[in-house]
Amino acid sequence: MSVFLNAYLPDTDPSSKKQVVDRGLTKQSTEAKASPYKLIELSDIRGMVKTRMPFSHKGTYGHALLIAGAENTMGAALLCAKGCLYAGAGLVTSSIPSPGLTALNIALPEAMYLERAQLISSRTLNKYDTIAIGPGIGRMADGHTIMGEIFALKKPVVIDADALAILKTHPELFLHLPKDSILTPHVKEFDGLFGPHENWWSRLQTARTEAKKRGILILLKNQYTFIIDHEGDVSINQTGNPAMSQGGMGDVLTGMLAAYLAQGYSAKAAAVLACYFHGKAGDELSMTHFNVSASQVALQIPVSVKSLLNKED
């Protein structure tokens, strides 16, 4: 069964050609040429999620470094860390401004701390399985230098929010962006990076071109998030709802992406799982809540994952 892509584009040009969207990431189109657009379905998620095995430990599930927050935006750092913890990373380290350390210790005693001065050392950075940067960092001192050190590791990086703004002002960094890195722009951030667009269809085509050229993934965020991979394929996430229209949701999603990368998932699997369970948690909460906060979504994530696994048994 297929549907039309226009239904997922909030401002599609009515004159544009309708595109067939296949259901499921592994199904092939009945057309002579398979559609690059796929709807993410429950069966796809069940095939991706790894169960936790006996004798595993915190080292089994990876160590994520989150570079987030400024003195006036510590909430973004805390929400990012919550997303990473509740999405199952074995170890989470937050690099935040030192005045926020008390807040981190009180709110999330499971998270560790790395002072910002140590981010310049590639030897320090190399011990982490994955790194996410951006939520709430603002005009972080030496931000572009730190990103250059991170990129030199040649490991996939999750780049969100203010780190996207650093890429915009330092386009030379794009030349060194590690393969399989994940960029998570909303519409304004996307247009800031890649130029203005008249509608979502044109943004999708730009995203497909850029993802293929750079060997990266782009999460173009909206109620229906588009996950564009380095082959130019577009996976459409259907979970999520208007009850989630509150600040901090993107910070939680960034933490989740880092958690799944740290656990050894491929970049595409990490993106698909993070987007699906982020929206699914919000969907489940919206059954009893008129609106839901980002913190509530983070807490719901392991419940949503366990519910899916239980239904599979």
Which residues, 6+ apart, have CB-to-CB distance to 124 below 8 Å? 114, 118
Cα→Cα distances 52→61, 165, 255, 263, 270, Å: 9, 37, 20, 11, 16
Which range (129-133, 168-172, 253-257, 293-297) has the least confidence? 168-172
Q: What is the pLDDT of residue 79?
A: 98
Segment 43-94, tens digit of pLDDT:
999 999 999 999 999 999 999 999 999 999 999 999 999 999 999 999 999 9
Is residue 1 scored above 50 in pLDDT? no
Instruction: Pick the closest to residue 251 from 188, 160, 168 (CA basis).
Output: 160
Compute, in degrees rounded to 10, the torsion defined by CA atoms 220, 211, 130, 306: 50
Q: What is the pLDDT of residue 23?
A: 72
Q: What is the pLDDT of residue 8?
A: 77
Is residue 10 scored above 50 in pLDDT? yes
Instruction: Pick the closest to residue 84 from 251, 231, 312 (CA basis).
Output: 251
Q: What is the pLDDT of residue 215?
A: 98
Q: What is the pLDDT of residue 30?
A: 45
Q: What is the pLDDT of residue 19?
A: 66
Read off the pTM.
0.94
Q: What is the pLDDT of residue 7?
A: 67
Which range (65-74, 115-124, 292-301) has the least confidence? 115-124
Both tokens assigned to 7: 């239904």
Over residues 258-263, mean pLDDT:
98
Cβ atoms of 203 and 190 within 8 Å: the answer is yes
Q: What is the pLDDT of residue 142?
A: 92
Over residues 165-183, mean pLDDT:
95
Is residue 312 scored above 50 in pLDDT? yes
Q: What is the pLDDT of residue 29?
A: 45
Question: What are the residue ranges of helices labelled H in the chain?
Answer: 42-48, 74-86, 101-107, 122-125, 143-151, 162-169, 187-194, 200-214, 249-262, 267-286, 294-312
Is residue 239 scored above 70 in pLDDT? yes
The amino acid occupying position 276 is Y
Cβ atoms of 277 and 256 within 8 Å: the answer is yes
Domains annotated for the chain, with CATH where assigned, are 2-9+16-312 (3.40.1190.20)
Which residues, 6+ apart, have CB-to-CB distance to 288 below 8 Å? none
